[in-house]
Amino acid sequence: MNGTVWQRLDRALVNSLWAAVYTCTKVSHLPRGRSDHSPLVIKARVGFAAPSSFRFLNMWRGHPSFLEIILADWRASISGVGMTLFHSKMQSLRTKLREWSKEVFGNIFDGVKRAADTYKLREEEFNSYCDESSQIRLHKARAVYLRELFMECEF
């Protein structure tokens, strides 16, 4: 104890070989008990972490094909009754929306970086040539960059 502040100093370390073999490792601290050290429980397994949870992205709503994707998947015939049917439809829709989002939007953060790089390049071109065509390319690059920033903010 440092004054009235407790600090957790107990740690677990792994090397690159461990990380390569046990791709999913979790460390939990147990209660201290009488000791000033926390026992550690290390759970390790071979394989990948569970898939991330589904997130609805507001930017999807503005895309022209968004409602089409939902309606087409919702109208698809799936067997089941009541909540089982509803759950199956929601699972199917989640899969379709993830695939569609990857196709249409890709990685949003990479898009912002690419658009920023292009925008900087077009600025340099315009500063060098100062002609109408480089000005048009600069304005287009700026529009793409602002659109990508907007999508990132919506995310």
pLDDT tens track of the chain, all 155 residues? Answer: 455 555 666 788 889 888 888 888 888 877 776 777 778 888 888 776 566 788 888 889 989 999 999 999 999 999 889 999 999 999 999 999 999 999 998 988 899 999 999 999 999 999 999 999 999 999 999 999 999 988 888 87
pTM: 0.56
Q: What is the pLDDT of residue 123?
A: 93
- What tokens were used for 104? 């249409």
Terminal C-alpha separation, the chain: 42
Q: What is the pLDDT of residue 1?
A: 47
Q: What is the pLDDT of residue 6?
A: 56
Burial-class residue 125 by CB neighbours within 10 Å (0-12, 13-18, 19+): middle
CA of 143: how far to CAs of 60, 62, 119, 140, 148, in Å?
Answer: 19, 17, 9, 5, 9
Q: What is the pLDDT of residue 8?
A: 62
Burial-class residue 115 by CB neighbours within 10 Å (0-12, 13-18, 19+): buried
